[in-house]
């Protein structure tokens, strides 16, 4: 059959095709207009048409194509108009409604807000600061020596054109900004993202969230620090939890301590989660170093204070027994659905 006869036959089919609803409209589109439809096959066959017939056949093909597209457009608009007028409906009004699937807050958001609520009830106020910081606020004012390992590129993201500008490695920079502009007493909580140049793995990430607390006043003691963290642990993990403080070192606190809580899964008896020690590390803490107070214009002879810091990701891991940090940022809905309230 000549291609001219095939075109004439398809034109008759297009004009005679009956469209009554959305399904027949879609069938028409698939049959004639889509890339795999019958018109597309005719356009492919056009390549084999002799040159002396191309003009005639091309005009016939364009007429067929325009007719099909115009019919589809008119019928689609007519169906949409009928639906708006309520003349037809593509659904059964007697079927029961399908409930909307509710989302859930990210566990970092939920636990982060829970931590904030606990400390704000103890009198801490939220304080914020920029994620792009100066070397002074992030390191020098916090008593980091010039040759301290944390200043090296394997730990910190520096801005290439200005080595004195960097992505903050902890929210302690917010404490420096606050102590430099406010007079004691100071009781603040700084929450936000921090960045460290680390390889992403199940136990580490280049971006995470921190909560840091600071209290500066006259005659602040280490005992107040311990009681503050004990109250926090009991509120977050349950009233049966206990804490212990192990000696440690941080440039900005003296004395310094690592803070552990008793494992809530084995109740201190030892299990795989706590590596059979009965304890889980939650944060670092200590008394603010006198040099830090001096750098911020606060007299260390008149004022003392304590500071503590913890990663929200770490707290969520302990609270929900999560073993891979990467789950927090992979947006896997199966993971997030577990935390519906």
Query: Domain residue spans in the chain?
Result: 3-84, 107-339
How far apart, in Å, do the first and last CA atoms of the chain sit? 68
Region at 243 (left for phi over 0; alpha for psi -120 to 50; beta for the rest): beta
Strand pairing report for 207-217 and 162-167: unpaired
Q: Which residues neighbour 64 within 8 Å (Cβ) at sequence distance 6 or greater?
A: 7, 10, 11, 14, 39, 42
Cα–Cα distance between 2 and 166 in angstroms, integer?
73
Task: Write the class of the CATH domain 107-339.
Answer: alpha beta
> For residue 108, what are the β-bridge partners?
none
What pLDDT is attached to residue 313?
Answer: 92
Cα–Cα distance between 54 and 52 in angstroms, integer?
6
- Give the CA diameter of the chain: 104
Cα–Cα distance between 79 and 26 in angstroms, integer?
12
What pLDDT is attached to residue 84?
Answer: 67
Cα–Cα distance between 2 and 268 in angstroms, integer?
88
Number of neighbours of residue 319 by Cβ within 10 angstroms: 15
pTM: 0.67
Cα–Cα distance between 221 and 207 in angstroms, integer?
33
Q: Give 10-residue mean pLDDT values along the chain (341 residues).
A: 80 86 86 81 80 83 87 86 62 73 85 95 95 94 86 78 88 96 95 91 88 96 96 92 93 95 77 79 95 96 96 89 88 84 63
Three-state SS at 92? coil
What pLDDT is attached to residue 221?
Answer: 96
């Amino acid at each position: 059959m000549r291609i001219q006869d095939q075109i004439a036959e398809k034109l008759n089919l297009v004009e005679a095709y009956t469209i009554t609803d959305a399904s027949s409209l879609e069938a028409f589109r698939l049959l004639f207009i889509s890339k795999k439809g019958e018109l597309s096959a005719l356009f492919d066959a056009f390549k084999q048409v002799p040159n002396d017939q191309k003009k005639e056949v091309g005009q016939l093909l364009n007429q067929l194509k325009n007719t099909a597209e115009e019919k589809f457009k008119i019928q689609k608009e007519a169906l949409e108009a009928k639906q708006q007028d309520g003349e037809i409906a593509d659904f059964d009004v007697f079927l029961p409604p399908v409930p909307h699937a509710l989302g859930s807050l990210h566990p970092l958001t939920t636990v982060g807000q829970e931590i904030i609520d606990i400390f704000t009830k103890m009198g801490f106020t939220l304080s914020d600061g920029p994620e792009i910081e100066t070397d002074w606020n992030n390191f020098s004012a916090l008593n980091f020596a010039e040759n301290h390992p944390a200043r090296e590129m394997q730990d910190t993201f520096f801005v290439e054109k200005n080595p004195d500008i960097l992505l903050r490695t902890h929210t302690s920079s917010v404490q420096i900004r606050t102590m430099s502009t406010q007079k004691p007493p100071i009781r603040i909580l700084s929450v936000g993202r921090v960045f460290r140049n680390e390889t992403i793995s199940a136990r580490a990430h280049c971006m995470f969230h921190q909560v840091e607390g600071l209290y500066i006043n006259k005659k602040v003691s280490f005992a107040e620090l311990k009681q503050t963290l004990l109250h926090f642990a009991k509120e977050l993990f349950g009233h049966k939890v206990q804490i212990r403080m192990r000696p440690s070192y941080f440039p900005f606190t003296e004395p310094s301590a690592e803070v552990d809580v008793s494992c809530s899964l084995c109740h201190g008896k030892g299990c795989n989660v706590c590596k059979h020690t009965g304890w889980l590390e939650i944060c670092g803490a200590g008394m603010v170093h006198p040099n830090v107070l001096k750098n911020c214009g606060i007299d260390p002879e008149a004022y003392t204070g304590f500071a503590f810091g913890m990663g929200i990701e770490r707290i969520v891991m302990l609270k929900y027994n999560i073993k891979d940090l990467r789950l927090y940022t992979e947006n896997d809905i199966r993971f997030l659905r577990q935390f519906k309230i």
